[in-house]
Chain A
Amino acid sequence: MTDKPRVAIYKMSSCAGCQLEFLNLEPVLLDVVGAVELSYFVMARRQNAPGPYDIGFVEGAITCGEEIEKLKRARQECRVLVALGSCACFGGLPSIKNWIPERVVESRVYQNLEVIESTKAYGIDEYVKVDAYLKGCPVDKGELVEFIKGALLGISPHLRPHSVCVECKLRENVCLFVSQGEPCLGAVTTAGCGALCPSRGKVCDGCRGPANDANAESLARSFTEYGLHKSDVIRKFRKFAGLTPEFSKGAEAV
């Protein structure tokens, strides 16, 4: 036993890409392991220690009753509970199914529906109190480390609340929207990714959800002016964060 904070990583409905980012911290992974005890991390450990834990990271959306139970146990076991990645924060990619009847969605994926009892896909705060949110698909490694340091010090980590445009401008990227007419969600999406996609010539897909003063309705109007069909505008705002009040306004604005 050590006096290092004990960390648990839980997986719900997800691709496991966010917890993989812990291992992708490779250059500083040994420092992370030196600072915290990764007590429960099924992807990386053969033997996992039982709770209670100091920090629990929950990856994935909640899409069935079983996961609701698992999540509630996680909440009881952890002093601090963190939504790890966009699925856990606000539903993420799994939430694209929420606007289609449940049985229709299920039948698209599964042959035998008798054993399937899925629910709408929600972020974890639909069911439990959440202490911190790390957005992104996947989460940003820098923010993950920043959060761990904040937790160790007992202070709020410096996570960017503003739009992706700020980071895009700081990198002096050519604006894909105004220069090339490509419909980009960066203006209403939370930064912290370092404008990852626009820096590589691809528009922001909004994976990190709404920025702190997102005006999605106004951006939706611009999308239609730039020739996007109403159904495309809806798809854009519902791809990752359609459940958030801000992006749902964007989807419903046109």
Chain B
Amino acid sequence: MVVARSLTIPNPLVLLPKKDLSRLVQHLMQRYTVVGPVAKGGEHAFSAITDPAQLTLDYVSSLLPPKKVLHQPFEVLFSFHQEQGVLEEREPARGQVLFGVHPCDVHAIEILDKAYGHEYPDPYYVNRRQNTLIVAANCTKVGDNCFCQSMGTGPDLQKGYDLLLTDLGSQILVEIGSPAGEDLLQQVPLQPAPRVMLVEKEKRLDEARRKFKKRLNTSGLKELLEDNFRHPIWDELRQDCLACGSCTMVCPTCFCYNVVDKLDLNLKSGQRQREWDSCMLLEYAQVAMGHNFRKDRDARIKQRIYHKLAYYEPQFGTLGCVGCGRCIGTCVKHIDITDIMARLGGE
């Protein structure tokens, strides 16, 4: 898949004066739809920008993960008509650049690539993914709910990007991760960066590494969860959890969706649509004749935690949580996956 781009240049580095960043973005906007973090009511949301000044690259986290532009919250798959059959509606292939994506979210996209791109490729996802370039940004700021450091997904990124930015104050260190990334830098005057800049980068990242407030011990997770299927914490969570589904709606690695046919009133034509679904919702595991495999709230809470931390690995070779902390921040009840695991681990 697209993520497996080969590198022709050994880790090339360039320096971009911060004042020239908008020039780079302006240049990208001529060829691509640029989607990046934009301020929204005190939070941030990945949005298609019309002006480089809209980008707020000092953001900590976004409301929804950038996943939303690859696997959209709502999506029309195709139209159908009784006489004409299925009418495919593929979107035009204008490329897009995901700009300022944090390492946790890049890792999450790599997980989605495995879920949607490998065994049973999802044409809608794959089509968008192949037309998407990733300009990632290492984290020099750490949010209260972040624990990517524990998950090995941040605050810095090693792969999975076309370009990687690190804020060094007045300048931005740009690392090129692919030929396509190198191509993005054409027509922008850049200085080759001396290797010593990597030392400066490490200094900034080390500062970030010291700021993490949350951690999750990932050793022996599968065994820990298997041994604690009947732990009293699940019943406490059953009483606490509102079953609202927010934790899964904001998760960058959740990939479940529901498919609904929306008929027109003539009952002859309509659209097949899909939208994000969630295992935290009661109706998710309901089958024909009304039986529900996960009727109890604690069963659904367990499914969410076990899927991310125990069931993903055998299937995808990686944990299903990237430590972005969105599920913690969105929870009215402050239910915290790091607290749950610490308690199970006897901490």
- Report which A residues bind B (CB closer than 8 A): 28, 31-32, 34-35, 145, 148-149, 152-153, 158, 161-163, 165-166, 169-175, 177-180, 186-188, 211-215, 217-219, 222
CB distance from A152 to the nearest CB of B (A): 6
CB distance from A150 to the nearest CB of B (A): 9
A162 touches B265 (CB 8 A): no
Interface-lining segment among B157-165, B194-202, B239-247, B303-311: B239-247
Complex-state Cα separation, A34 to B241, whole angstroms: 46
Residue among B246, B329, B330 with max Cβ neighbours from chain A (10 Å): B246
B40 touches A174 (CB 8 A): yes
Known: A161-B282, A165-B246, A169-B249. A28 touches B265 (CB 8 A): yes
B245 touches A165 (CB 8 A): yes
A215 touches B64 (CB 8 A): no
Complex-state Cα separation, A13 to B249, whole angstroms: 38
The interface residues of chain A lying within 8 Å CB-to-CB of B282 are: 161-162, 212-213
A178 touches B332 (CB 8 A): yes
Q: Name the contact of B73 in the complex, choosing from A158, A170, A174 (C-beta under 8 A).
A: A170
| Nearest B residue (CB) for A145 | B265
The interface residues of chain A lying within 8 Å CB-to-CB of B14 are: none
A170 touches B283 (CB 8 A): no
B342 within 8 A of A: no
Complex-state Cα separation, A188 to B297, whole angstroms: 13
11 new A-B contacts at CB < 8 Å, known A35-B265, A165-B242: A32-B265, A35-B267, A161-B282, A172-B40, A172-B63, A174-B63, A178-B329, A178-B331, A178-B332, A214-B242, A215-B241
CB distance from A59 to the nearest CB of B (A): 22
B249 touches A212 (CB 8 A): no
B260 touches A158 (CB 8 A): yes
CB distance from A199 to the nearest CB of B (A): 12
Known: A166-B249, A169-B64, A179-B42. A153 touches B263 (CB 8 A): yes
Complex-state Cα separation, A153 to B265, whole angstroms: 10
Q: Which residues of B in the span 220-257 have a Cβ within 8 Å of any Cβ on A? A: 239-246, 249-250
- Report which B residues bind A (CB closer than 8 A): 40-43, 45, 63-64, 68, 73-74, 239-246, 249-250, 260, 263-267, 275-276, 278, 281-283, 297, 329-333
A31 touches B45 (CB 8 A): no
B41 touches A174 (CB 8 A): yes
The interface residues of chain B lying within 8 Å CB-to-CB of A162 are: 245, 278, 281-283
The interface residues of chain A lying within 8 Å CB-to-CB of B332 are: 177-178, 187, 219, 222
Complex-state Cα separation, A80 to B260, whole angstroms: 24
A169 touches B246 (CB 8 A): yes
The interface residues of chain B lying within 8 Å CB-to-CB of A165 are: 242, 244-246, 249
The interface residues of chain A lying within 8 Å CB-to-CB of B246 are: 165-166, 169, 175, 187
B241 touches A172 (CB 8 A): no
B283 touches A212 (CB 8 A): yes
| Nearest A residue (CB) for B41 | A174
Complex-state Cα separation, A178 to B250, whole angstroms: 14
